[in-house]
Structure 1
Amino acid sequence: MLEPLFISIFILFTAAAGYYFRLLTLSGSIAAFIIGAATGWGFGLYGLLVLGFFFASSSIWSKFKGHKKEIFEKKHAKGSRRDWQQVAANGGTAAIASILNLLMPSPVWLMAFLISLAAANSDTWASEIGSLNKKPPLSLRTWKPIETGTSGAVSLLGTFAAIAGSFAIALLSLMLFSVSFYEALLIGIFGFAGNLIDSILGAFFQAEYKCLVCSANVEKTEHCGQPASLIKGRRFADNDFVNFFSGLASALLGMFIYIICI
């Protein structure tokens, strides 16, 4: 009885701390508690440590040199303080895998859990660290320089950060769980693949708008107090949708390879 109680208190404290330090909104804090509870039930304390590493490292990188990122955040619908949709987009697949493992224990669900978090970590590190690149990133649609902070763009620094973020989760998985070196390699590879899927969707599918007042290209439906005009992608495909789908896709692909090869 003590372990579930300790885990519940730990999750509640962590979610409350995220709200107190303005890393999460109230809805984001509630969502973090729900995802944390599912993870604790499905994969215990070690699962929470991996989830906690993702949220902690993501929050640290989002605050790192935050004054330089303020201008880029104006392009996006939301700032660095995460709401429930952002939390669910990054941790939703991991929560689903946790619940499935609770109901039907299997190494397959563990791989899905770890790959989805590796993908989320890869994408977040790429975005937060890559935005500090001295040169403008390249658009995946045109392969021409584009404004920093634009979805669907890549940079050398961001790519290295994406690889580091994915394999950080893979290394942590190797230390905490009974996964082999090859399974950890699979986690790292498909975590990075999730970032690539996110970038491709961001370039060709994610919604982008033009402000009718200042003519800036943004990811917000409103800008300068006026509705913005859709110029690319689908309206429902915002950044949260793309993040969730890329994490889910990378987890499913990794599960498929894991089942047929290992």
Structure 2
Amino acid sequence: MSNPIHILGLLLIGLISLAGWKIKSLTLSGAAAACLTGLLIYLGYGFHGLFLLGAFFSSSSLLSKYKRNKKKVLDEMLEKGDRRDSVQVIANGGISSIASFLFWLTGADLWTAVFCTSIAAANSDTWASEIGTLSKKAPRMLLSLKKTVRGTSGAVSLLGTAAAAAGAGFIAILSVFVFNLDWQWGVMIALIGFGGNLADTLLGGTVQVKYECPVCKEVTEKKIHCGVKGRVVQGYSFFNNDVVNMISICMAAALSAGVVILL
């Protein structure tokens, strides 16, 4: 790591993580986890990997701040706010970090597919959430098609679905240029990345835990609401939003690996 280029890479990782904490996109633990994620990605893919990770992180951070006042109502529903902690960073970036490390060990193109697709899936889900909540029309649950309130896990809207497709496509296009991939790989990354968002939505509407507050009767992802413990009305307590994110990204990554192996 005495190479000046490597030192520059390490400084860049540290500065980006520190900036994320300073602008309140990351908690302190989230910044530390972002450093670790960045190091593993730099180990395998160098500045190319950091660029793709940065595209996800910067776009997600900007969208989370965009029209934040209109999203204030979601603070009472969602378990966590718009500052990512270490668990959220690992849930969204853990698979890509592992893929990068395995690429460093093996040099196999398989891990590049997993790396790009896992970031595409995370970006697709984030764009869907941040933009979809601004939809003027009430979203509908994906399975029952019943109308529900904005920000409900498992719900979809036309705006959110379009944002999810755009988020996956954005990372796919960057991947093609950054890693000099064939366009077929770009299509695969976009489709499977979008599929990861659909998996997240399905899990969010079925197994992800939701609580009913005994005081105000609000259905929320928060275990504690109005100062009291809520009653589970859907899913399982272990399956919070972070776990669902991790599982859906794992599914997308596994599918991309399977496609590469078969082809």
Query: Shorter-normalised TM-score: what interval?
Result: over 0.9
Return 5+ residue gaps in structure 2 as ranges. Answer: none
Q: Distance in 1 between matches of 2:206 and 2:259?
A: 26
- The CA deviation string for residues 162-219 of structure 1, in whole angstroms up to 9 with x for no partner, is 0000000000011111210000110000000000000000001100000000000000
- The CA deviation string for residues 128-153 of structure 1, in whole angstroms up to 9 with x for no partner, is 00000001100123211001000000
- Of 5, 12, 23 in structure 1, the residue corresponding to residue 7 of structure 2 is 5
Counterparts in 2 of 1:193-232, with a 5 A limit?
193-232=195-234
How far 1:69 moved relative to its partner? Answer: 0.2
Q: Which position in structure 1 is the counterpart of 2:111? A: 109
8 Å CA contact 1:141, 1:204 repeated in 2: no
Secondary structure of 1:231's aligned partner: strand
Q: Which position in structure 2 is the counterpart of 1:163? A: 165
Q: Which position in structure 2 is the counterpart of 1:79? A: 81
Q: Which position in structure 1 is the counterpart of 2:95? A: 93
How far 1:98 moved relative to its partner? Answer: 0.8
- Residue 244 of structure 1 aligns to which amino acid in structure 2? M
| Moved >4 Å (runs of 4+) | none
Give the alignment's Cα RMSD to 1 decimal. 0.6
Q: Which position in structure 1 is the counterpart of 2:47? A: 45
Return 5+ residue gaps in structure 1 as ranges. Answer: none
Q: Distance in 2 between matches of 1:216 and 1:116?
A: 33
Q: Distance in 1 between matches of 2:100 and 2:140?
A: 37
- Of 9, 29, 32 in structure 1, the residue corresponding to residue 31 of structure 2 is 29
8 Å CA contact 1:212, 1:229 repeated in 2: yes
Q: Which position in structure 2 is the counterpart of 1:241? A: 243
Q: Which position in structure 2 is the counterpart of 1:251? A: 253
Q: Distance in 2 between matches of 1:2 and 1:147?
A: 52
Q: Which position in structure 2 is the counterpart of 1:135? A: 137
8 Å CA contact 1:73, 1:149 repeated in 2: no
Q: Distance in 2 between matches of 1:230 and 1:141?
A: 20
- Residue 179 of structure 1 aligns to which amino acid in structure 2? L
- The CA deviation string for residues 192-251 of structure 1, in whole angstroms up to 9 with x for no partner, is 000000000000110000000000000011100000000110101000000011011101
Q: Which position in structure 1 is the counterpart of 2:20? A: 18
How far 1:108 moved relative to its partner? Answer: 0.4
* TM-score, with length taken from structure 2: 0.98
- The CA deviation string for residues 59-102 of structure 1, in whole angstroms up to 9 with x for no partner, is 00000000000101220110001100111111010011011111
Q: Distance in 2 between matches of 1:128 and 1:42?
A: 30
Counterparts in 2 of 1:57-76, with a 5 A limit?
57-76=59-78
Secondary structure of 1:258's aligned partner: helix
Counterparts in 2 of 1:140-151, with a 5 A limit?
140-151=142-153
How far 1:253 moved relative to its partner? Answer: 0.5
- Residue 13 of structure 1 aligns to which amino acid in structure 2? L
- The CA deviation string for residues 94-116 of structure 1, in whole angstroms up to 9 with x for no partner, is 01101111111111001000000
Q: Distance in 2 between matches of 1:183 and 1:58?
A: 23
Q: Distance in 2 between matches of 1:141 and 1:191?
A: 20
Q: Distance in 1 between matches of 2:5 and 2:83?
A: 31
